[in-house]
Chains A and B, each alone.
Chain A
Amino acid sequence: MTQSAISAEDLCKRYGKKIALADFRVDIPRGTVTAILGPNGAGKSTFMRMITGMVRPDRGTVTVLGRKPSWKTNASIAYLPDRARWFGGHTVRQAVEWGSKLLPGFQTDRAWELIDMLGLGADQEVAGMSKGQEARLMLAVCLARDVPLLVLDEPFSGIDMLSREKIVAALIDSFSERSQTVLISTHEIAETESLFDYAVFFAEGRNALSGDVEELRARRGSVQDIYRQLYG
């Protein structure tokens, strides 16, 4: 039996009257690159935030790498938050320094390789960066960590096509070198479909469908087709 990297049982979360997660269940196998898919407001970001301990469930349990989420488990998780910005006063060099001092598993040499690959310079100031450049910097900080779990919440949101291509290339490069469990929440399915081994489709806070991508493809067509079937 495959070990779970993340296991959720009957997760419920409400924000006032809005239900973010409703009896959500999932088992995400270790060592897979998993697509977290669904329309806006389906509960994807809430689930990802629960993995990092930022959000607590109202009911139900979630285990991450066999433990309850907390600030301690975050030492094993590289997390790219949804709609995040980088610290405005930093240069790229200071961002790398921040990562090397505060993030366990941060590999400075790897960070510089990624930064070079993503077309950024050490003395570039974050305050003067385009959204795409800032997204590439944030991704480099995450990918430079040698940790068992990588959680990327909408890494392509609002990013131009060229930046997206660079980011996908960096992801492919990174995944081929390491045996991490990776979760990526995205709406850019066409550009990223080839990355995924496993997929979880969210609908109104529930797990509408999940499974091995190859098996899903054999049964129901491409990930994009399944997305259209479920939400179209």
Chain B
Amino acid sequence: MNIGTFAHLFKHEFRMDIRRVYARTWFWAYAAVILAVLLVALGVWGGRRGFNPQYLIYFMYAFPFFMIGVGHRALNREWSDQTYGWWLTLPYSRFRLLLAKFAASLVQGMILGVIAFGVLLVLVLYTSLLHGKGLGEAADFVQIELQYMLVTAAAVPFMTALGMAAAIIWRSKAKGLLPLIWIVFGTLGNIFNWINLYTRPEKSESTVLLFQHGIPPEVWAVLAGMWLLAGGLFAVAVYICKKHLIV
């Protein structure tokens, strides 16, 4: 593969939605207002039982689903923006075109994930220091974040590939397969919950930790399996884009 042209394809894909978000002032206004409200609320009520910024980590459950949207949009915008004619007639293989989109979506996701984890850590630090709890709580939170990062790292390539595959299948002769894909996804989607239920003792204390007694070995197998599935879904997307696309 010519790394030079791939780098340009990647750069093009990476910038497309970043520019869009960057230009949306209402997005930054919402982000600023939400952050200000959180800082004030944590300043007043933070540290009380039931109002712990650690619980904000639960929003990370939505993150892999958000990545379906990112992957889907990376493909779908070529049709919604009417640029698919330019994209599909570039003198590069479908594999390379789709890989650039997949890689750009993953990097966008990773950056967003790191920003989200960083903001959460800052909020936990802010609350701990403001309410005199020291740095111990923040150190514990880093351990929690690492567990969520692991699950996110396992799920994000799969979810991104799923979003891309769904978008390309929708534009193809294989459109009828889409419900089947969502059914399979719905079944597999809760795999980490199942592992946790299986490995969790009957009576366990309330915690935001995903794996209370260390990371079970099954998780590593699931991680590898999900990456393989992501590769499989990506291959399906390339095949359909090559052979069965309707334009």
Contacts and interface: CB of A to CB of B under 8 A. Distances in A.
Interface of A: 15, 49, 52-56, 71-75, 77, 79, 81-89, 98, 101-104
Contacts of B247: 49, 54-55
Interface in B76-110: 81-86, 88-94
SS of A interface (majority):
loop
Nearest to B12: A98
Nearest to A88: B81
A84 B86 contact: yes
B200 interface: no
Q: Which of B5, B12, B15 has the most CB of A within 10 A?
A: B12
A123 to B, nearest CB: 15
B89 A83 contact: no
B129 interface: no
Contacts of B243: 56
B237 interface: no
Given A84-B83, A87-B16, A98-B12, A71 B5 contact: no
A74 B85 contact: no
Task: Provide the main secondary structure of the chain B interface.
Answer: helix
Given A55-B247, A101-B8, A102-B9, A85 B81 contact: yes
Nearest to A125: B23
A72 B9 CA distance: 16
Contacts of A101: 5, 8
Contacts of B82: 83-85
B16 A89 contact: yes
A165 B83 CA distance: 25
A116 to B, nearest CB: 22
Contacts of B88: 52, 54
A177 B5 CA distance: 29
28 contacts: A52-B88, A53-B89, A54-B85, A54-B88, A54-B89, A54-B245, A56-B243, A71-B91, A71-B93, A71-B94, A73-B91, A74-B91, A77-B89, A79-B85, A81-B89, A82-B85, A84-B82, A84-B85, A85-B83, A87-B12, A87-B81, A88-B81, A89-B15, A89-B16, A89-B20, A89-B23, A98-B8, A101-B8
Contact of A71 (B23, B92, B245): B92
